[in-house]
Structure 1
């Protein structure tokens, strides 16, 4: 039974590590998108006046 518990703990540890890595990638993606779209309101007004 101890081996099963140890295996489960290792599996949960691996799962938590994978989730943390995924969260890190997600946060990075959100930051990149935020930087990419932060200028959209100004861009819309510039394009409207250019027409």
Structure 2
């Protein structure tokens, strides 16, 4: 049984799930081979 927010999102979410993968959009966000044990990089915009 789906929870209510998922049922309500169904009409607009269904077309998004049917689209092909957006690899160019994911580049820069996802790093191939970087697993959960990889230490995160520091934020370049963070002031020290």
State the TM-score bracket (shorter-chain normalisation). Answer: under 0.3
Greater radius of gyration (CA): 1
TM-score w.r.t. the length of structure 1 is: 0.25
Instruction: Determine which structure has the larger helix proportion and give its number.
Output: 1
